[in-house]
Chains A and B, each alone.
Chain A
Amino acid sequence: QVQLQQSGPGLVKPSQTLSLTCAISGDSVSNTTADWNWIRQSPSRGLEWLGRTYYRSKWYYDYASSVTSRITITPDTSKNQFSLQLSSVEPDDTAVYFCTGRCSSTTCARAFEIWGQGTMVTVSS
């Protein structure tokens, strides 16, 4: 059974960088039929997909246009995890952040099947 365990601070100061990590058990971050995503949820934005990383002979990265200049998603094969960094945060970035896993093969769901527990991140001085 695949599980995702999130870690990282719940409070970040404005203009600083938000950093979260998602540890994977029961699967591999290098799985060539999966992708690993970050999604956030806030009352103002609802559920918002932020970006993903996936391995298909090399690593790929895709980001939402709303955050593309500030976001980095990094896989770590040695620890079987992936991380989110969001720079220059503002109070509007306050949200619950989720990591998720998705099987991208045409023979599986292709929706977000696996979710981390969520991390409430508040941007405040």
Chain B
Amino acid sequence: EILMTQSPATLSVSPGQRATLSCRASQSVSSNLAWYQQKPGQPPRLLIYGASIRATGFPARFSGTGSGTEFTLSISSLQSEDVAVYYCQQYSVWPPWTFGQGTKVEIK
């Protein structure tokens, strides 16, 4: 089973500043990496897939990079509506598909 490790657990960023979230896989997942945004009381929402392809409905300030074992999600200019928990998930090696433990993004 591939272990997904996210850092930091909590990230406090001032409005308009850049937020950088990390995700590391215990073995290579190529570009088979997704990011999800989850707000309280809602299911996760697919944000990025293929490590760097933005899903429908998300603005360009969200971007994903990386391949293999190291991945990054960036929010170029944090807005209040971006406050959420962000999860990474690998869909390269099955079984099972696995998720990271999440990074909570807060407004400083």
Q: In the docked arrangement, what's the CA distance between A100 and B99, Å? A: 14
- Within 8 Å by CB of A110, from B87, B91, B95, B98, lies B91
**A64: B residues at CB distance < 8 A:** 95-96
Does A62 lie at the interface of the complex (its beta carbon under 8 Å from any beta carbon of B)? yes
Interface size bracket, B side: 20 to 34
Proximity bits, B65-106, A CB within 8 Å = 1, else 0: 000000000000000000000010101001111111110000
Q: Tell me whether A109 and B55 are in contact (CB under 8 A).
A: yes
User: What 4 pairs across the A-B complex have the smallest Cβ distances?
Assistant: A111-B34, A115-B43, A47-B99, A109-B49
Q: In the docked arrangement, what's the CA distance between A65 and B87, Å? A: 22
- Within 8 Å by CB of A65, from B36, B43, B96, B101, lies B96
Known contacts A64-B95, A117-B43, A110 near B102 by CB under 8 Å: no
- Within 8 Å by CB of A49, from B50, B55, B87, B96, lies B96
Q: Tell me whether B46 and A98 are in contact (CB under 8 A).
A: no
What are 5 A-to-B residue pairs whose CB atoms are below 8 Å?
A: A46-B100, A47-B89, A49-B96, A65-B96, A115-B45
Q: Tell me whether B46 and A111 are in contact (CB under 8 A).
A: yes
**A118: B residues at CB distance < 8 A:** 42-43
Known contacts A47-B87, A49-B96, A49-B97, A110 near B49 by CB under 8 Å: yes
Does B32 lie at the interface of the complex (its beta carbon under 8 Å from any beta carbon of A)? yes
Q: Tell me whether B99 and A113 are in contact (CB under 8 A).
A: no
